[in-house]
Structure 1
Amino acid sequence: MQRRTFVTSAGAGLVAAAVASPAVAQSMPEIRWRLTSSFPKSLDTLFGVSEVFAKRLAEITDNRFIIQPFAAGEIVPGLQALDAVSNGTVEACHTASYYYVGKDPTFTFGTALPFGMNPRQQNAWFIEGGGTDLLNEFYKSYNVTAISCGNTGTQMGGWFRKEIRTVEDLRGLKFRVGGFAGRILTRLGVVPQQIAGGDIYPALEKGTIDAAEWVGPHDDEKLGFAKVAPYYYYPGWWEGGAQVQTFANIAKWETLPKHYKAAYEAAAYQAGTWMQARYDASNPAALRRLVAQGTQLRPFTLEVMEACYKQAHELYAEVAAQNPWFKRVLDHTLAFRNEEYLWFQVAEYSFDSFMIRMRARSN
């Protein structure tokens, strides 16, 4: 009786396995994508986050959905990453959307609006505030869809050959600065230059540019800017919380099974958390080393900050009057930002300010 039961059960199991295997194979297809990054391999965090993302996605899908990251220049130049996804050259990319403000200034919101939000507020806007859905509606016309995949934290203001004390000191300055900030600074006499990360150092060294901003101490130390420009300014008001995103070609995205899309999103968010943590952990020591080597740390003066803030909001109003998409996302962003700072000034700012004062006393 036991033998008969065993044989019956075993036979049923074989039948079930025979039925289940094709179903599993169909639901877990093997997919291979290429991802082009806007960043060089030397930037272990900005490029590294795409590797962390791809590794986690492979782990979640038991190595059935594989994305291979390529550094800037290996398939296309860094500033052409979005175009390569849009036209189907590659399935995905990892980039900063504000590199593409030449196409439409609305692209600035995917990375950072100057004088916008800090990293936590930016993250809240994307995940809970409707930012991702709103921007993906805009991105549709470029044949791409995006998910947040990292944040640099609030950035530094950059490396300068001379001190910047007044607004007049900005006039005629050839400044490598990304995204929409260049248009704001133009109104104050700056000559903005958009240059990919790997090309900044030689331009600064040769004097092709007078100043350059990139990210912060961890990356800036790696790129060697302290060797060719002594003054290191802060804060980078144009990137209070600079988000980077992974873009996918819409046609390719729509072919993915639902659970692969979920895995892709989960891997992107986890990689993004890693990126922010790595910068927060690495920047303090890098800043100490830079200062010990002679870097002159300087805050932008209140005069410069207020002049830039004024010009930024005047420019926003002008662009919004002509560009419905920009106006729609701007209104959404500023409303969210203002509510966030209402809360942050109560708890976050009060706590941070107190702790900074205590740290200063104990040193």
Structure 2
Amino acid sequence: MTNRRNFLKKAGLFTAAAGSATLAAPHVKAQAPIKWRLQTYAGPALAEHVIKPSIDQFNKVAAGQMEIELYFADQLVPTGELFRAMQRGTIDAVQSDDDSIAAPVDVSVFGGYFPFASRYSLDVPVLFNEYGLKEIWEEAYSEVEGVKWLSAGAWDPCNFATVDPIRSLEDLKGKRVFTFPTAGRFLQRFGVVPVTLPWEDIEVAVQTGELDGIAWSGITEDYTVGWADVTNYYLTNNISGAWAGSYFVNEERWNELPENLQTLYMLCINSSHYHRQYWYWWGEAHYRTTGGKLELTSIPEEEWTTVEDEALKFWDEIAAESPRNAKVVEILKKYRETMQKAGPPYRYG
């Protein structure tokens, strides 16, 4: 017991001495947090689901080491100028698709809604992570100075929401529609007139008659962002089963991050990818059956098959634009064949 008391007394002296030394140390000012500005393709209502939760998680877990300021569609920079702005360092990061931000890479045409490249949302992560698209995208963006591509994931399908009903291909002719660049390029073959406008102007443009409809999303977004309030019909046939969107970052800003923050950012991207998988899968069925605002219409399957056949011709045209595009199209064809051979639940009919 005597030895134990002597040990505790000495330990207390050492602790006190250490404490004194700590108190005597000069004050070091805490390092200011790293600040990023990230702009998404989505408006405020949609961003609440497709990115804001993951950015809130990041800022919370970063615990003052870093803070990401989130900006919505066209808030800092018009969407079509996002890539160049990120390259210059005007903004630090982007969530969008390659097609909309005019990424100067050949594979940008496959971003957004590449016609009939997917049937379901799970097709997108499978194509990137199991069929080699990830490595192709990394290669393409390594050739562009100043921007790093980080990850791609799936969003919703591409359907028409219109003022007047679409029940045949003939009904598409002359319709002025807000859509994505490559999707619009394809839809022109069926008489659709693609229109480009700032995202926040779409609702008013439908109300004023400047637009006849929207082919920018599935039904979940039509209800979430208010487009179901200004259109009357929803075409159940889609030209793509899922939007392929990506996360991009200014390469210098990315390289400046310590490894733990890079890892945290990638984890939050994956969290966003996962949330969208079930949120859209729920919404597409929920709003078709209980939405109450849009009447569902369909083009007969035998007629819609001609659109799918035309898409395969479109694929071959895109493949001819570069060897890398040809490689992507080859993967898409192999994937399509595999899914068809696998049968239900991968493909029906």
TM-score, normalised relative to structure 2:
0.83
The answer to whether the 8 A contact 1:203-1:209 is kept is yes
**Structure 2 residue aligned with 1:115:** 116
**Structure 1 residue aligned with 2:227:** 225
Give matches, 1:150-189, under 5 Å. Answer: 151-153=154-156, 155-189=157-191
How many Å apart are 1:180 and its aligned residue?
A: 1.5
Q: Distance in 2 between matches of 1:263 and 1:227?
A: 38
Give matches, 1:1-363, under 5 Å. Answer: 1-2=6-7, 3-5=9-11, 7=13, 30-43=33-46, 46-100=47-101, 103=104, 106-117=107-118, 118-140=120-142, 141=144, 143-148=146-151, 151-153=154-156, 155-238=157-240, 240-290=241-291, 292-293=292-293, 295-343=294-342, 345-348=343-346
Aligned partner of 1:286: which letter?
Y
Give 3-state SS (helix, strand or coil) of 1:134's partner: helix
The answer to whether the 8 A contact 2:160-2:234 is kept is yes
Shift in alpha-carbon separation, 1:312–1:205, aligned structure 2, 3 A: same
Aligned partner of 2:247: which letter?
T
Q: Distance in 1 between matches of 2:339 and 2:17?
A: 62
Aligned partner of 2:35: which letter?
R
Aligned partner of 1:4: which letter?
K
Shift in alpha-carbon separation, 1:324–1:112, aligned structure 2, 3 A: same
How many Å apart are 1:227 and its aligned residue?
A: 4.3
How many Å apart are 1:120 and its aligned residue?
A: 1.0
Shift in alpha-carbon separation, 1:135–1:47, aligned structure 2, 3 A: farther
Number of equivalent positions? 339
The answer to whether the 8 A contact 2:172-2:192 is kept is yes
Shift in alpha-carbon separation, 1:302–1:75, aligned structure 2, 3 A: same
The answer to whether the 8 A contact 2:178-2:195 is kept is yes
The answer to whether the 8 A contact 1:85-1:144 is kept is yes
The answer to whether the 8 A contact 2:113-2:158 is kept is no
Shift in alpha-carbon separation, 1:327–1:227, aligned structure 2, 3 A: same
Shift in alpha-carbon separation, 1:142–1:114, aligned structure 2, 3 A: farther
Cα deviation 1:248-306 (Å, max 9, x = unaligned): 0112112222222111110110122122323333444433444x34x320123224422
How many Å apart are 1:331 and its aligned residue?
A: 2.1
The answer to whether the 8 A contact 1:165-1:304 is kept is no
The answer to whether the 8 A contact 2:74-2:198 is kept is no
TM-score, normalised relative to structure 1:
0.80
Q: Distance in 1 between matches of 2:102 and 2:94?
A: 17
Shift in alpha-carbon separation, 1:333–1:5, aligned structure 2, 3 A: farther
Shift in alpha-carbon separation, 1:342–1:259, aligned structure 2, 3 A: farther
Shift in alpha-carbon separation, 1:316–1:90, aligned structure 2, 3 A: same
The answer to whether the 8 A contact 1:211-1:229 is kept is yes
The answer to whether the 8 A contact 1:175-1:192 is kept is yes
How many Å apart are 1:88 and its aligned residue?
A: 1.1
Q: Distance in 1 between matches of 2:62 and 2:17?
A: 30
How many Å apart are 1:179 and its aligned residue?
A: 3.4
Q: Matched residues, percent identical?
A: 23
Q: Distance in 1 between matches of 2:192 and 2:113?
A: 20
Aligned partner of 2:147: which letter?
V
Give 3-state SS (helix, strand or coil) of 2:99's partner: helix
Shift in alpha-carbon separation, 1:325–1:348, aligned structure 2, 3 A: closer
The answer to whether the 8 A contact 1:35-1:90 is kept is yes
Aligned partner of 1:330: which letter?
V
Aligned partner of 1:173: which letter?
K
